[in-house]
Structure 1
Amino acid sequence: MGTTDGSTARFREILAVREFRAIWLAELQSVLGDQLARVALSVLVFQRTDSAAWPALTYALTYLPDLVGGPLLGGLADRFPRRAVMVTADLLRALLVAVLAIPGLPLPALAVVLVVVQLANAPFSSAQAAMVPVLLDGSRYVLGQSLLKMTNQLGQLAGFALGGAVIALIGPGPGLAADAVTFGVSALVLALGVSSRPAADVRVDRVSTVRRLAAGAGTIWRDPRLRVLVGLAWLAGFVIVPEGLAVPYAAEIGGGAATAGLLLAAHPAGIVLGVFALGRWVPDAVRLRLVGPLAAGAVVPLLGYAFAPGLGVTVVLLLVSGACAAYQVTASTTFMRLVPDAERGQAFGLAGSGLIAVQGIGLIAGGVVVARLGSPSVTIAVIAAAGVVTAVPIALAWRRTYRSVTS
């Protein structure tokens, strides 16, 4: 249901949908607040422990709970009204992040509260992902997800560029308080801007969480299209390795913290460019056909790390990889459209937690391999080679199955 007068009108069209606009506005300010909070937490913990290990562990705690929360709590987005799930999760996070801002909070208590904050992210993300295809149909849905993805990546870029400076100016406590406010604002925007709908799963006899997990996994496993889409998404486990080794690689090519910052920003910038280009110039049918080649293309440029090129060439490699990684938007939107509405929250939770898991495995593998090989550049290239070997058969499988998506 796109327009005929170009991409600008199409973006304007989806933002004219009041409920989607509310979801986008809530996402915009929440992403900025979350990036600020991650920096604030790392600074706060480092100030109190004078240890490099504790900030790294704290940063990991902002991701790891999703491994559990996705499968166990994602189904709440199907069992309860999705607007209520999002608003409740936001209010809970606003309260808990405000607790994190309390001066002198013991570190064990801080860790526990942080884990609960991240657990609340799982039902929110599942509810949001399941609601967007209800609000937008056809190509508008893909464009809406593209806008949310670009917003998320631009928020990360802003966090890399400005987070440290802002926290240095206002301090970690006020930074956490600002994040709490963003959650409260998000809850208000969603409550006022999104209509209430009944739960998608209207079965009276509620099944157990274990049975819901099994049913969700069965839905994915029985459909070869869903299996391939999950495999394509999980290739991110290979693509994330340069992020984990950005600092030692920067040192290897003669750079420092500024070089590492540019390397960390390059891949998200490439994703923004790729998402915008696919949304603006590529028709839906072509986007679907390109998912497989682009998935492989996200890994192939990383083979160039084998030559330990200078900063300029490496940034180009990461930009190309990020632009190709924009296929994730098409893969995720296609996945959500193929899953029945009553199971979307659970399916998203399972696939999303798996995505986080493979990214964690990729980062761990990078650390283990670089300890053996000693060279970050060779490590990234070796893991990229394994990624290409993995990506090619999955891309070929998509070539055999994608036509059934449009049939």
Structure 2
Amino acid sequence: MSEERAATFGEVFAVREFRVLFGSFALFIAGEGIKMLALSVLVYAETGSPGLSAAAYMAGWLPHIVGGMFLLSLADRLPPRAVMVVGELVRVVVCLLLAYAGLPVWAMLALVLVSGLFSPVFGAARNALLPEVLPGDAYVLGRSILGVTSAGAQIAGLAVGGAFLAMTGPRGALAATAVLSAAAAVVLRFGLPDRPARAARADDGGAVRTTLRVNRLLLTDRRVRGLLMASWLPVLCLAGAEAMIVPYLHGQGQAGVVLAAAAGGMAVGEFAVGRFVGPALRERLSLPLAVLLGLPWLGFLAAPGLGWAAALAAMAAAGLAYQLGLQRRFLEAVPEHVRGQAFGLLSTGLMTGQAAGAALVGVLGEVFSPQLAIVAAGGAGILVALALAGALRPAPVPPLRAGA
């Protein structure tokens, strides 16, 4: 495949292992949306507390930062297929316990928090396997397809979750998630070959010490750190703006329309840039697309109504395609034997940054107004993208020294 020619969907989906990863990922995203929605409803039904219900909805994501800090090396020290299958089976057990074990609310939340510690490891194993399955530009298109799938499966998962909740109640919806996870485990077990672990397990003090050492190596390397910051910080500002949509529109219903438009904009941007833009141009577009993440939010100075707010949110989220121009450089910047941990650190930082962005912009919304907070988040996004221009612009990136 020519380095300057964009890969095609036919080339990507012709690879059997990618089809397996694609199918299992769609099942995972849809099931996760159903699980967290059902758990939130179940906790609210048990307690009548909106605060505990919100905590239940977020509980599955909170442990990512702890798992990302201390456990990510397991993604490289263990065979990837086994890690992904275990991840799905853990979710089967968790969902069945939540649905039928009659646990008190504190125990349900504790179970989700503890099991979530390993979620970054399971996701890192999948992300690190992708470049082994798809070489060259097919890898970037594969990432684009998974990004589009994530947006679509989130929307589908919430819609299906609502339907299951209406028909079977939260316990039935949790059982449905267990079924989806079991199906994903079967697909992964029998669809992927048993590849060996990327890194040998040495007598180095265990997974925690290795994770801390490699995280330190990645974060102190100027090239890798620049690419990580370029991946994390613009998205932080976008998440902050989106977090203010509900209070800006004074209601969940209208906010849902705007957030769905943002998911659609993200899917369109990922699809268009991943499929129709060549590798060299895609990398040159990283900076202007990162600026686009913030620019449309300035339009909230005019206090737009529902329609314009949805259009502006969709335009901003389309800029998330800027990350596709960073994929090849990030892949080349880290050694293969710590690739799983590197991708896990990237994902952990993205999730942590989005939570931090929502919290920071939320403070602005409390002090001033949701409208001004959205505008401030957009302005910050533009400034952050320009400040990171050196990392966002394409440049040859030699790999880290092999002694990682």
Q: TM-score, normalised by structure 2?
A: 0.92
AA in 2 matched with 1:312: G
Relative to structure 1, the CA distance from residue 206 to residue 135 in structure 2 (aligned partners, 3 Å threshold; closer, same or farther) is farther
Distance 1:290 1:60 in 2: 33
Of residues 207-216 and 170-179 in structure 1, the stretch that sits farther from structure 2 once superposed is: 207-216
Query: Residue 28 of structure 1 corresponds to which residue in structure 2?
Result: 26
Matches of 1:392 and 1:3, distance apart in 2: 28
Q: Determine the C-alpha separation between the residues in 1 that align with 2:279 and 2:72.
A: 28
For residue 388 of structure 1, what is the amino acid of its counterpart? I
Q: Where does residue 308 of structure 1 map in the other structure?
A: 303
- Which segments of structure 1 move beyond 4 Å, counting only runs of 4 or more? 2-7
Paired residues of 1:298 and 1:325 also in contact (CA < 8 A): yes
Structure 1 counterpart of 2:319: 324
State the partner residue of 1:379: 373
Aligned-partner Cα distance in 1 for 2:217–2:136: 26
SS of alignment partner, residue 373 of structure 2: helix
| Structure 1 counterpart of 2:71 | 73
Alpha-carbon RMSD across the aligned residues, in angstroms, is: 2.2
* Per-residue deviation, 1:2: 6.8
Secondary structure of the 2:118 match is helix
Aligned to 2:178: 180
Sequence identity, in percent? 38
2:228 to 209, 213, 230: 230
Give the C-alpha shift of residue 333 in structure 1. Answer: 5.0
Deviates more, 1:99-108 or 1:197-206: 197-206
Q: How far apart are the structure 1 equivalents of 2:262 and 2:230? A: 18
Partner of 2:402: none
Mark the runs of 5 or more structure 1 residues left unpaired by the alignment: none
- Correspondence for 2:277: 282
State how far apart, in whole Å, the 1-side matches of 2:359 and 2:342 are: 26
Counterpart of 2:396 in structure 1 is 404
Letter in 2 for 1:60: M
Moved more, 387-396 or 48-57: 387-396
C-alpha separation between the residues in 1 aligned to 2:395 and 2:132? Answer: 23
5 Å-filtered alignment, 1:10-159, equals: 10-102=8-100, 104-159=102-157
Report the Cα distance in structure 1 between the residues aligned to 2:136 and 2:219, rounded to whole angstroms.
22
1:232 to partner: Cα distance? 1.6
Q: Deviations over 1:159-181 (max 9, x none)?
A: 34443233122210010011111
The CA deviation string for residues 65-121 of structure 1, in whole angstroms up to 9 with x for no partner, is 111112322211111111111111211221111111116321011011111332232
Deviation at 1:383, TM superposition (A): 2.4
Q: 1:376 to 1:26 in 2, by over 3 A?
A: same
Matching residue's letter, 1:19: E
The one-letter code matched in structure 2 to 1:304 is G
Residue 189 of structure 1 aligns to which amino acid in structure 2?
A: V
TM-score for both structures, normalised by structure 1: 0.92
The answer to whether the Cα contact below 8 Å between 1:201 and 1:343 also exists between their aligned partners in 2 is yes
Kindly provide the amino acid, as one letter, of the partner of residue 384 in structure 2. T
What do the CA deviations read for 1:352-389 (whole angstroms, capped 9, x no partner)?
A: 2222221111111122111111x211111112222222
Letter in 1 for 2:41: V
Q: Work out the CA distance in 1 between the residues paired with 2:140 and 2:109.
A: 37
How much does 1:398 deviate? 2.8
Partner SS for 1:325: helix
Cα distance in structure 2, aligned partners of 1:180 and 1:88: 13
CA contact (8 A) 2:38 2:173 kept: yes
1:403 partner SS: coil
Relative to 1, partners in 2 of residues 1:406 and 1:268: Cα closer, same or farther, differing over 3 Å? farther
Whichever residue aligns with residue 193 of structure 1, its letter is G
SS at match of 2:197: coil
* Mapped partners of 1:327, 1:215: distance in 2: 26
Q: What does the per-residue CA deviation read over 1:218-270, in whole Å, with 9 as the maximum and x for residues that have no partner?
A: 2343242x22221121121110123322221112xxxx432111011111111
Alignment pair present for 1:212 and 2:242: no
Whether the aligned pair in 1 keeps the contact of 2:72 and 2:211 (CA below 8 Å) is no
- Cα distance 1:2–1:30, how it changes in 2: closer, same or farther (>3 A)? farther
Name the CA distance, whole Å, in 2 between partners of 1:94 and 1:100.
Answer: 10
* Per-residue Cα deviation, 1:6-54 (whole angstroms, up to 9, x for no partner): 87xx212212211111111111112111111121111111111112111
Q: Counterparts of 1:405 and 1:245 in 2: how far apart (Å)?
A: 37
- Asked if residue 298 in structure 1 is aligned to residue 290 in structure 2, the reply is no
One-letter amino acid of the structure 1 residue matched with residue 14 of structure 2: A
* Paired residue secondary structure (1:64): coil
Shift in alpha-carbon separation, 1:308–1:220, aligned structure 2, 3 A = same
